[in-house]
Amino acid sequence: MPQEQTLKGVRVNAEPGQRPLRIDGHATIATLFRARCRENGDATAHREKDLGIWQAYSWSDYLDHARLIGMGLRALGLRRGDVVSILSEDNKEWMYCDMAAQCMGAVSSGVYTTDSASQLAYLVDDSQTRFLFVENDEQLDKFLEAEAQMPSLSKVIIFDSEGLHDFSHPKCMFLDDLYALGRENDDAAVFDAEIDATQPGDVAILVYTSGTTGMPKGTMLTQENILAGMEASLYGLPFSKGAEQLCFLPLCHILERIVSLYTPLVVSSTVNFAESPETVFDNIREASPHGFVAVPRVWEKVYSRVLVMAQEATWLGRKAFGLAVRAGQARAAYTLAGKPVPFGTRAWYNLWDILVLRNLRRMLGMDRLIQGLTGAAPISPELLKWYHAIGVPLYEGFGMSETAGVATINLPEANMTGSVGRPVPGVAVRIGASDEIQIKGLNVFKGYLNKPDKTAEAFTEDGWLRTGDIGRIDDGYLVITGRMKDIIITAGGKNITPAEIESRLKFSHYISDAVVIGDRRKYLTCLVMIDQENVEKYAQDRKVPFSDFRSLCRAPEVLELIQNEIDAVNREFARVEQIKDFRLIDVLLTAEDEELTATMKLKRATVEERHKALIDDMY
């Protein structure tokens, strides 16, 4: 029997990466889920708003709903290994369906609500999904539009019946009817037997890639992969029993899936579902989470909002805020370097913390935040330092769908700003040919569904995962310098990785995103997405006339503002790496636009294709 150790009160293997991997004695998601629900009983597992009021649901509720859905699906013909797809915003039903699939030995696959009908049809057909859960009439319409392209579907189950009272379709049923079917066929012995039949090597979930380099690929993650991701998250997340979390990134995304769906099974934390992406900042204040995990775009947005509020304050308020941040920056310079903070610096910070920063964190909903985590895209080191300055310890990590979400992470006791941290225990990282970052560990995926050629390309001959990222290892810390496919080779033969330049540009609170252009060209240029809220405030304060977003982007004063921001960044780079010209993308992009991923990252190839006229104009 492998020895065990205690990590945050949870028993795990003494040697990370040791097989068989067990957490609290459990080798699969479903057995851990069942044990935790029985152990916690009436304690609150998650909360969701109903008519504007937070409603609490217990661990017993969680287990009951998952069992009824699972037994209902079994009555409809679900077999072990079948794929169950979920097309919904984050909510408790998403959790119930995912866990029902795990308990019945099925494979769970999430679909982004921003996907089109044709994209849905591709994912369902590629995975041979037999059961599709949809949130409401809007998502149901996608199935109805492309039904002929999804012959594998046996049944479509609808969460919300509002607006569908007269709807009837031979392949469709409502969730309430599935619950009723589950009650009719409820059998605890059968349910437990299905849970116990799952093996660590069985595929647990499919996570489809964003499809920026071709058709989306279904990343197959096994039970063991997910448990390894959960174990890794214990090292970097501040959650413990009863801690509050906020779930708002799409649960299709591996980072949110691990953090909000699976890790709570380990530590018995409480998940609060945000009402919508638009209400995230209000919901943060209401939930006041102990830990908050988000992509850089969210952290950038919080930073921008704070600066707008500071600009709108009185002269005295602006002065106090500036002094408070400077006091925080002086302290952060020591804490980030792992050095003791001198008494005078600490006392000066404590004063401004009482006067300003403590109230700021309370207003942001970060007054109880033990630790924040950012990942899924590069973030500016300056932004990390700013958060530490206001008393929000924010750390950067790195992972992929193919590594079950987490591979490296910075920690309070082991942090190097500008890096993505050291490998978590049980994960090995090396730098391979062409400076490619390569990874090995129990968290590394099984392969791509139906694509043995792509799976083979993803691994080296000796079995290491090829990440496609380039970087270096500095004193054990992984530093990512760019993507192999994004390397720019100028007409003069200079190799440039644009990620660092783009990250520095995005630290400007007037720039939301940027794409550096220059492959096989004489010099670098840039496509810029402005931060609407901050630039509008800038224009209004200076009485710059504009009628809509497009006219705002064309205002000479705005163009001058962005030029000044680019000039400031240019001074930090060598001459060949400086931006010589830029154009503004004058349309507001959302996750529904092809230029953006569901986690609000610009797709470089799509942006270059869609805005070719702007690029050509700069040359």
Rounded Cα–Cα distance for residues 221 and 225 (Å)? 6
Secondary structure (3-state) at 480: strand
Q: Which of left, alpha, beta for 519 (phi over 0: left; psi -120 to 50: alpha)?
A: beta
1 confidence band (pLDDT: 50, 70, 90): very low
506 confidence band (pLDDT: 50, 70, 90): confident
pLDDT, position 46: 97
Mean pLDDT of 38-44: 96
Residue 370 pLDDT > 50, yes or no?
yes
Cα separations (Å) of 104 from 169, 182, 197, 204, 215?
26, 13, 9, 11, 29
pLDDT, position 593: 60
pLDDT, position 70: 98
Residue 591 pLDDT > 80, yes or no?
no
Residue 3 pLDDT > 60, yes or no?
no
Rounded Cα–Cα distance for residues 60 and 402 (Å)? 32
- Among 198, 171, 173, residue whose Cα is nearest residue 33: 198
- Among 458, 508, 500, 466, residue whose Cα is nearest residue 482: 500
- Among 283, 103, 110, 102, residue whose Cα is nearest residue 191: 103
Q: pLDDT by residue (tens digit) across 298-336?
A: 898 898 889 888 888 899 999 999 999 999 999 999 999
For residue 215, give every residue at least 6 positions away whose Cβ sits within 8 Å of its Cβ, in sequence order, or none: 122, 126
Backbone angles phi, psi at 111, to 5 degrees: -125, 130
pLDDT, position 64: 97
Rounded Cα–Cα distance for residues 296 and 302 (Å)? 10
Looking at the DSSP bridge assignments, the partners of residue 189 are: none
The token pair at 332 is 């952060």
Q: Which of left, alpha, beta for 306 (phi over 0: left; psi -120 to 50: alpha)?
A: alpha
Q: Is 564 exposed, middle or buried (0-12, 13-18, 19+ CB in 10 A)?
A: exposed
285 confidence band (pLDDT: 50, 70, 90): very high
Q: Which of 109-113, 199-203, 526-530, 610-614 has the lowest mean pLDDT?
A: 610-614
pLDDT, position 594: 63
513 confidence band (pLDDT: 50, 70, 90): confident
Looking at the DSSP bridge assignments, the partners of residue 134 are: 87, 158
Percent of the chain with pLDDT over 70: 94
Q: pLDDT by residue (tens digit) across 326-341?
A: 999 999 999 998 889 9
Rounded Cα–Cα distance for residues 30 and 45 (Å)? 16
| Average pLDDT for the chain | 90
Instruction: Give the CB-side neighbour count of residue 408, counting CA atoms within 13 A.
Output: 24
Cα-Cα end-to-end distance for the chain: 66
For residue 135, give every residue at least 6 positions away whose Cβ sits within 8 Å of its Cβ, in sequence order, or none: 87, 88, 89, 91, 93, 113, 158, 159, 160
Mean pLDDT of 259-283: 92
Rounded Cα–Cα distance for residues 149 and 342 (Å)? 66
Residue 276 pLDDT > 70, yes or no?
yes
Q: pLDDT by residue (tens digit) across 449-471?
A: 999 999 999 999 999 999 999 99
Mean pLDDT of 418-434: 92
**CA triple 126-129-132, angle to 5 deg:** 130
Backbone angles phi, psi at 376, to 5 degrees: 80, -15
Mean pLDDT of 427-445: 94
Looking at the DSSP bridge assignments, the partners of residue 414 are: 411
Mean pLDDT of 350-356: 96
pLDDT, position 124: 97
Mean pLDDT of 272-299: 90
Q: pLDDT by residue (tens digit) across 198-207?
A: 999 999 999 9
Taking CB atoms within 8 Å and a gap of at least 24, the contacts of 154-158 are 154/76, 154/77, 154/130, 155/76, 155/130, 155/131, 156/131, 156/132, 157/131, 157/132, 157/133, 158/133, 158/134
Higher pLDDT among residues 497 and 293, named by residue = 293
pLDDT, position 600: 60
Q: Tell me whether the omega of the peptide bond preceding residue 151 falls within 30 degrees of 0, making it cis.
A: no
Is-contact 331 343, C-beta < 8 A? no
Residue 582 pLDDT > 70, yes or no?
yes
- The amino acid occupying position 353 is D
Residue 2 pLDDT > 90, yes or no?
no
pLDDT, position 483: 82
Mean pLDDT of 90-111: 97
